[in-house]
Amino acid sequence: MPVPKKLSQLLDSMVPPERVEVETFAAFVIARRSLQNFSVLTDESSTQELMRLVMESGSFDWLDASCEDVYSSGDGEAVKWLSES
C-alpha cells in the first residue's frame, strides 16, 4: 500500500524519536484490533487484556535499551535516613 504524500512529508519532517513514537502508536492501533471489546480504556476491559495490549504494542521496549542505563551503582551519594526516636 503506497504511503499518502502528506503522511510521507510529515514523517520526513520528524526527528528519529518522533518517528519511533508514531511507529509505537501505529503498533498500538494494530494491536487493539485483536481485542474483543473495542472500548480499550474502560473498566469493562480486563487487566489481562490491557496488559496484553501494552506488551504487544511495544510501547515500553525502549526501557530495555542499553542507552537508557545512564546511572550505575556508583552514582550519587548514600541516603541518610532519619531515625525514629
Reported as a single tens digit per residue, the pLDDT across 18-66 is 999 998 988 888 888 877 655 555 567 788 888 888 888 888 888 787 7
pLDDT at 39: 55
Q: What is the pLDDT of residue 47?
A: 82
- Which pLDDT band, with edges at 50, 70 and 90, does 15 fall under? very high
Query: Between 56 and 1, whose confidence is greater?
Result: 56
Q: What is the dihedral of CA 71, 72, 74, 80, to 10 degrees?
A: 70
* Burial zone of 45 (CB within 10 Å; 0-12 exposed, 13-18 middle, 19+ buried): middle
Residue 75 above 80 pLDDT? Answer: yes
Query: Is the pTM here over 0.75, yes or no?
Result: no
